[in-house]
Amino acid sequence: MSSLYNVFFGFKENPFNLTPDPVFLYRSHQHEEALSNLIYGVQSRKGFIALTGEVGTGKTTLLECLRDFLTQNRIDFATIFNSRLTVAEFFEMVNYDLDLRCNPPSKTQVLLALNEVLLHNTRNGRTTVLIVDESQNLSWEVLEEIRLLGNLENRAGKLLQIIMAGQPEFDRILDDPTYRQLKQRVALRCTLRPFAESETHQYIHSRLATAGATNPALLIPDHVVSEIHVRTQGIPRIINSVADNLLLTAFAMAEKQVTLEMLDEVSNDLRLEWGAQRVSRERIFDDQSYPRKVAGRRE
Ligand SMILES: Nc1ncnc2c1ncn2[C@@H]1O[C@H](COP(=O)(O)OP(=O)(O)O)[C@@H](O)[C@H]1O
Ligand SMILES: [Mg+2]
């Protein structure tokens, strides 16, 4: 539905889509650092790398960027996106993604074939990667299989690089004494946090510019962005739904600029809840510096 407004605002595509599309990647300091860690970890055969962060902070987006990098560099990889799977299903996925052609894809067959591929790739100076998203949902049994796969190594390093992304519960799993063997193997651990206010500004501008907007600050003025930051607590996914709904509202009213009134309406529709108290509407109009002050106080 949101594509309705693309022509009206002159966008090539919808700026605030919820898909984890690498084309729209805004390289905040922490996203940049996390992505370099993932790539460095794979290239230097570090074995386990954990990437954690709240829902909507960009984990799946970074995994997509990593997959693009792996594809460009012809590095074999398997991806487990559905983490509520059994051990048998896990090996079926690995068999399918790495094209191991085991039939039937029983655990023993897949392990034998995988071992061969890992050694073959290593002999040719290449590595192999397993990417797991939503790792907080994995059963103990599947986590145990993954841990064992992470043990395969030769003198050049680990044969399989394992990237595990998950919500903060995954951090807690790793810190649980039951999983200490897994935790000990994690070579790199990175965490994504919500944006700071200045990053929310850059993020919104960057997505609008990528979509083809010629003057992002005219479309969503700075004081509205500051208030979006407060209400979304700097979480990219929520910023996207708010901004998308704002643009739709402006479009419906044939306006080329979004306003705080529109933001109020959208916040109600989306049932947004944010911690600090709002300053009354009168003050907004009395005090030009309102948005900066409010945001500053809440940081
Ligand atoms: N650094 C970023 N640059 C561009 N878009 C981002 C960034 N971080 C998050 N997003 C966007 O926010 C939304 C949620 O991101 P996602 O990767 O699905 O989060 P997570 O997997 O952590 O729940 C997606 O629409 C995604 O495109
Ligand atoms: Mg995700």
What is the pLDDT at residue 275?
74
What is the pLDDT at residue 82?
85
Query: What residues does CATH 3.40.50.300 cover in the chain?
Result: 29-192
Query: Which atom of ligand 1 is nearest the CA belonging to 62?
Result: 17
Residue 279 DSSP class:
P
Q: Average pLDDT in the 49-63 region? A: 98
Q: pLDDT per residue over 180-217, tens digit each?
A: 999 999 999 999 999 999 999 999 999 999 999 999 99
- For residue 21, the CA-to-ligand 1 centroid distance in Å is 8
Cβ atoms 146, 137 nearer than 8 A: no
C-alpha to C-alpha distance for 121 and 101, rounded to whole angstroms: 16
- For residue 133, the CA-to-ligand 2 centroid distance in Å is 7
What is the pLDDT at residue 274?
86
Q: pLDDT per residue over 126-155, tens digit each?
A: 999 999 999 999 999 999 999 999 999 888
The percentage of residues in the chain with a pLDDT greater than 70, rounded to a whole number, is 91
What is the pLDDT at residue 41?
95
Q: Is 80 exceeded by the pLDDT of residue 289?
A: no
- Minimal-distance CA residue to ligand 1 atom 17: 58
Query: Which atom of ligand 1 is nearest the CA belonging to 192?
Result: 22
Would you call 128 helix, strand, or coil by DSSP? strand
What is the pLDDT at residue 276?
57
- For residue 255, the tally of other CB atoms under 10 A from its CB is 13
* CATH, domain range 29-192: 3.40.50.300
* CATH, domain range 2-17+195-298: 1.10.8
- Minimal-distance CA residue to ligand 1 atom 4: 25
Task: Tell me the best of 14, 38, 61 to mutate to test the pocket of ligand 1, counting ligand atoms within 8 Å of each CB and taking the most.
Answer: 61
The answer, as to whether pTM is greater than 0.85, is yes
Q: Per the structure block, which two tokens stand in for 76?
A: 């074999």
Nearest alpha carbon to residue 24 among 14, 9, 34, 36: 14
The string over 77-116, giving b where at least 16 C-beta atoms fall within 10 Å of a residue's C-beta and e elsewhere, is bbbbeebebeeeebbbbbbeebebebeebebebbbebbee
Query: What residues does CATH 1.10.8 cover in the chain?
Result: 2-17+195-298
Q: pLDDT per residue over 172-181, tens digit each?
A: 999 999 999 9
Cα torsion for 154, 159, 164, 169, to the nearest 10°? -30
Residues with CB under 6 A from ligand 1: 18, 20-21, 24-26, 28, 31, 53, 55-61, 236-237, 240
What is the pLDDT at residue 60?
98
Q: Per the structure block, which two tokens stand in for 93?
A: 């996925």
Give how far the C-alpha of residue 158 lies from the chain's centroid of Cα atoms, to the nearest Å: 25
Instruction: Count the alpha carbons within 13 Å of 133 in the hemisphere toward its beta carbon.
Output: 18
C-alpha to C-alpha distance for 258 and 6, rounded to whole angstroms: 15
Q: Is 50 exceeded by the pLDDT of residue 279?
A: no
Q: pLDDT per residue over 3-37, tens digit each?
A: 789 999 999 999 999 999 999 999 999 999 999 99
Q: CA-CA distances (angstroms) from residue 252 to 110, 160, 203, 255, 296? A: 55, 52, 24, 8, 32
What is the pLDDT at residue 83?
83
